[in-house]
């Protein structure tokens, strides 16, 4: 009888304990920066399945089945990189569209806290189905697309010069038919003196009610960016490679006076989104430092990740963010420009924040202190004392990257792709 009674008691305690474990995962004691919700302080974050369940001052550990000890670390929404190139493949003569220059996302995202990456123009309307089948559906990272106005996509060379292949109607049709994945239209690498690519992209963007992202110029003399910002683009359209200094492209800072051109301020006020799009050759300190010093900040921080940038001065999203931090942009602003502002730019406002009920895409960072060097493509180096390092990444409620095993118990990431 006594045995039966104790078994019964054990069962009861078991049920109570199980019931008390309301959450699948709890991030304990981290400094939460959630710009959308105005949170900048030490908070606990509780997750249930794939969703944020609660953000509060103190949530007991016993209420969760898995606990992340994040004391002394920063906890932020999963980062959103709105300019990357992940339409990887093995077709020769395909450049960033199912070719060798693009990269498989999962190897370059989770280890730096990125949970969403936007492929910026790899696929056009003709190649989007291949991109979806080969990359979007086989990645754990959430992969979105800016559809190239060129039907062939970013195949390089003459393909991207062919205005006959810039079909606004077909581009808009494919964008509208794939709303879950297509977040905008991309213009890139056009080197003629015509406005045709920009105008066709805006036409497609208007038909599909989505923004365009412009990688501008390549003609000599360059087309005026004042006309681009004030006349050709709509508020909400995105100008990428903001801090580039390249032949064939007008720069935002006057290199002689080191002043941000007056119409650039006006353009940002008008609603043009200024994106970093760092890349292999598209970022110069001679543009960025005077901009930041005078208070002209990027709306969004992105990498332009591809084989030509991954091992250069760019490296990854966190490296670019650390550069902006060391140039004097404050940490909450750097986080905002890589989360909430990015989600707004691509009109995916369900992402980029830690609101209750939002998808649990989360990043945990350490701030390393030391002597670091941040150089650009010219070799100019800025010294800095702080550098962000990714400790942990959570995608749809599951730990997908854990640098130092701060999760208890440690559960290794599984292979099947996350549901989008």
Q: Which is nearer to Zn ion, 150 or 394 (CB)?
A: 150
Taking the complex as a whole, how short is the minimal distance between the CB of residue 213 and Zn ion, in angstroms?
Answer: 9
Taking the complex as a whole, how short is the minimal distance between the CB of residue 87 and Zn ion, in angstroms?
Answer: 11
Taking the complex as a whole, how short is the minimal distance between the CB of residue 235 and Zn ion, in angstroms?
Answer: 23
Buried b (16+ CB within 10 A) or exposed e, 285-302: bbbbbbbbeeebbbbbbb
Judge contact between 80 and 351, C-beta under 8 A: yes
Distances in Å between the Cα of 46 and the Cα atoms of 49, 84, 270, 349, 405 are 10, 30, 39, 21, 18
Q: Which is nearer to Zn ion, 181 or 365 (CB)?
A: 181
Q: Report residue 322 as tokens.
A: 């650390």
List contacts with Zn ion (CB under 5 A).
120, 304
Taking the complex as a whole, how short is the minimal distance between the CB of residue 304 and Zn ion, in angstroms?
Answer: 4
Taking the complex as a whole, how short is the minimal distance between the CB of residue 182 and Zn ion, in angstroms?
Answer: 17
Judge contact between 115 and 89, C-beta under 8 A: no
Q: Which is nearer to Zn ion, 152 or 304 (CB)?
A: 304
Taking the complex as a whole, how short is the minimal distance between the CB of residue 302 and Zn ion, in angstroms?
Answer: 9
Residue of minimal CB distance from Zn ion? 304
Taking the complex as a whole, how short is the minimal distance between the CB of residue 305 and Zn ion, in angstroms?
Answer: 8
Q: Which is nearer to Zn ion, 278 or 340 (CB)?
A: 278
Q: Report residue 417 as tokens.
A: 């792709």
Q: Which is nearer to Zn ion, 110 or 283 (CB)?
A: 283
List the alpha helices (DSSP H) in 26-146: 106-109, 128-134
Strand partners, 107: none
Q: Which is nearer to Zn ion, 120 or 334 (CB)?
A: 120
Q: Supply the DSSP symbol for 150.
A: B
Q: Which is nearer to Zn ion, 128 or 278 (CB)?
A: 278
Strand partners, 306: none
Q: Counting beta carbons within 10 angstroms of the beta carbon of residue 183, is it exposed (0 to 12), middle (13 to 18) or buried (19 or more)?
A: buried
Q: Report residue 107 as tokens.
A: 């190897």
C-alpha of 168 from chain center: 26
């Amino acid at each position: 009888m006594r045995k039966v009674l104790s078994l019964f008691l054990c069962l009861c305690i078991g049920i109570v304990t199980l019931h008390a474990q309301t959450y699948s995962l709890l991030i304990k004691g981290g400094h939460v920066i959630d710009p959308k919700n105005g949170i900048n302080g030490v908070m606990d974050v509780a997750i249930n399945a794939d969703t944020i369940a609660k953000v509060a001052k103190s949530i007991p550990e016993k209420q969760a089945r898995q606990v992340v000890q994040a004391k002394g670390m920063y906890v932020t929404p999963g980062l959103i990189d709105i300019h990357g190139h992940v339409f990887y493949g093995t077709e020769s003569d395909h450049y960033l569209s199912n070719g060798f220059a693009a990269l498989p996302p999962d190897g370059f995202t989770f280890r730096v806290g990125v949970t969403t990456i936007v492929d910026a123009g790899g696929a056009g309307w003709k190649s989007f189905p291949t991109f979806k089948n080969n990359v979007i559906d086989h990645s754990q990272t959430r992969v979105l697309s800016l559809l190239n106005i060129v039907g062939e996509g970013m195949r390089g060379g003459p393909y991207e010069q062919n205005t006959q292949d810039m079909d606004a109607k077909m581009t808009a049709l494919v964008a509208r038919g794939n709303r879950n994945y297509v977040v905008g239209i991309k213009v890139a690498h056009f080197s003629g003196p015509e406005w045709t690519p920009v105008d066709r992209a805006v036409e497609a963007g208007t038909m599909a009610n989505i923004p365009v992202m412009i990688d501008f110029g390549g003609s000599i003399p360059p087309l005026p960016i004042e006309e681009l910002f004030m006349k050709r683009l709509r508020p909400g359209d995105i100008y990428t490679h903001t801090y580039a200094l390249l032949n064939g492209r007008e720069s935002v800072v006057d290199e002689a006076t080191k002043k941000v051109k007056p119409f650039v301020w006006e353009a940002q006020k008008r609603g043009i989104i200024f994106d970093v799009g760092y890349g292999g050759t598209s970022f110069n300190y001679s543009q960025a430092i005077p901009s930041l010093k005078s208070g002209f900040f990027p709306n969004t921080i992105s990498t332009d990740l591809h084989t030509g940038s991954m091992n250069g001065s760019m490296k990854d999203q966190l490296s670019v963010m650390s550069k902006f931090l060391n140039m004097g942009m404050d940490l909450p602003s750097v986080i905002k420009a890589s989360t909430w502002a990015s989600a707004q730019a691509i009109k995916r406002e369900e992402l980029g924040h830690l609101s209750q009920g939002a998808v649990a895409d989360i990043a945990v960072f350490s701030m390393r202190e030391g002597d670091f060097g941040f150089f650009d493509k010219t070799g100019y180096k800025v010294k800095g004392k702080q550098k962000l390092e990714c400790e942990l990444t959570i995608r749809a409620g599951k730990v997908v990257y854990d640098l130092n095993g701060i999760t208890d118990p440690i559960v290794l990431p599984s292979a099947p792709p996350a549901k989008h």
